[in-house]
Amino acid sequence: MSSTLIDFSNSLADAVERAGKSVVAIVEGGQTGVSGTIWGEGVAVTAAHTLRGRDEASLVLPSGDTTTAKVAGRDPGTDIAALRFSASGTGKAQLTPLQDLKVGHVVLAIGRRPKSGVTASYGIISAIGEGFRTWSGGRIDVGLRLDLSPYRGFSGGTLIDSQGRVIGINTSGPHRSILTIPNTTVDRVVTQLLEKGHIARGYIGVGVQPVEIGEAMQRSAGVKQDAGLLLLMVSAGGPAEKAGLLVGDILLTVNGAAVSDPRDLQAALDSESVGKQLKVTILRGGKPSEMTLTIAERGR
């Protein structure tokens, strides 16, 4: 066997060993269990769906010791949960700068099982895309597509680079694929979960769908926009109703930016927006009008 292949194999094994010092097993009653990652002193993160509504979980640490962790908060939008536990000297995850990632880079999905210890699966990054929002409103900073086969119990474990640094937290994607929550997203979410126990998300109380604005309407209304968002529903007592918005209004702009897709509106309703004013332009009765509403926090 060539020395190059041996060196490559050994380097991957070393990366798994380094990363494994910050990966824990979460005992969920089955023999496989799920995984988690130590994100800071006394703080672990995992995929929120694996906790199944529980307020605490039993962790098997890299040392082999078992401890009980309390759920500090969970965010279904990004599928991230933060747990607090009492243990000193636990390894903290070393993070990969996401801007250094390239298509074709070798990656490994790392997990830990309660009895057999660390597990690893090998693959590459097959595509790197822009950030996106999950169906439940969570903002993912970078879209990563992997050519890598998941294994039982991988959810909540880490995706690492060839140096053993953490790219992000793995969870279940569509069609048995892996969805990796990048480390910048995990950092942002965990900070808020530790402070508040949940992620605040903006709410204005409308239901919308895209609608075309014909050329004749554009000319008569004096607008240069061929699409907007039709208000199908306005919640009673919500910010939109209080500001005077009505069913049938067409939303044209939000804070000066044109909107033609529900995701455009959703992007303006991040956790940082709660309590702030939102300036909107609507089309009503063929005439544009400006309104200002105050963003509320979506109920949990």
Sign (positive/negative) of CA torsion 211, 76, 94, 20?
negative
Q: Per residue in 241-296, pLDDT tens?
A: 999 999 999 999 999 999 999 988 988 888 778 899 999 999 999 899 999 999 99
Highest-scoring range by mean pLDDT, 9-18, 195-204, 261-270: 9-18
Q: Across-strand partners of 36?
A: 24
- d(C-alpha 178, C-alpha 157), whole Å: 11
- d(C-alpha 298, C-alpha 286), whole Å: 31
Q: Per residue in 105-117, pLDDT tens?
A: 999 999 998 888 8
Q: Among this protein's residues, is 105 annotated catalytic?
A: no
Instruction: Give residue 257's pLDDT.
Output: 93
Q: Among this protein's residues, is 155 annotated catalytic?
A: yes
128-118-71-95 Cα dihedral, nearest 10 degrees: -40
Q: Per residue in 117-175, pLDDT tens?
A: 899 999 999 999 998 888 777 889 999 999 998 777 788 999 999 999 999 999 987 77
Instruction: Give residue 204's pLDDT.
Output: 95
Task: Give the confidence band of 1 by pLDDT, cuts at 50, 70, 90.
Answer: low
More confident residue, 30 or 142: 142
Instruction: Give residue 32's pLDDT.
Output: 59
Instruction: Give residue 3's pLDDT.
Output: 86
State yes or no: pLDDT of 31 exceeds 60.
no
Mean pLDDT on 30-49: 86
CB atoms within 10 A of CB 140: 22
Tokens of 246: 């009505």
Mean pLDDT on 221-237: 94
Tokens of 206: 């409308």
Instruction: Give residue 89's pLDDT.
Output: 64
Superfamily of 202-297 according to CATH: PDZ domain (2.30.42.10)
Q: Across-strand partners of 101?
A: none
* In the chain, ranges of CATH 2.30.42.10 domains: 202-297
Q: Across-strand partners of 178?
A: 172
* Fold held by 4-196: Thrombin, subunit H (2.40.10)
Instruction: Say how many CA atoms lie within 13 Å of 124 toward its Cβ.
Output: 6
CA angle 122, 75, 87 (to 5 degrees): 70
State yes or no: pLDDT of 30 exceeds 70.
no
CA angle 90, 167, 64 (to 5 degrees): 25
- d(C-alpha 149, C-alpha 123), whole Å: 8
- d(C-alpha 181, C-alpha 79), whole Å: 8
Chain-wide mean pLDDT for the chain?
Answer: 90
* 153 in Cβ contact with 34 (< 8 Å): yes
Instruction: Give residue 25's pLDDT.
Output: 93
**Which of the residues 22, 155, 271, 273 is marked catalytic?**
155
Q: Among this protein's residues, is 249 annotated catalytic?
A: no
**Which of the residues 49, 58, 162, 187 is marked catalytic?**
49
Which alpha helices (H) appear in the chain, and where do they start and end?
3-20, 183-196, 215-221, 239-243, 262-267
Q: Per residue in 67-107, pLDDT tens?
A: 999 999 999 889 999 999 987 667 678 899 999 999 999 99
Q: Give Cα 262 distance to the centre of its chain.
A: 18
**Which of the residues 35, 75, 79, 161 is marked catalytic?**
79
Cα→Cα distances 269→77, 201, 256, Å: 13, 6, 15
Helix and strand numbers, DSSP H then E, in the chain? 5, 22
Q: Per residue in 186-198, pLDDT tens?
A: 999 999 999 989 8
* In the chain, ranges of CATH 2.40.10.120 domains: 4-196
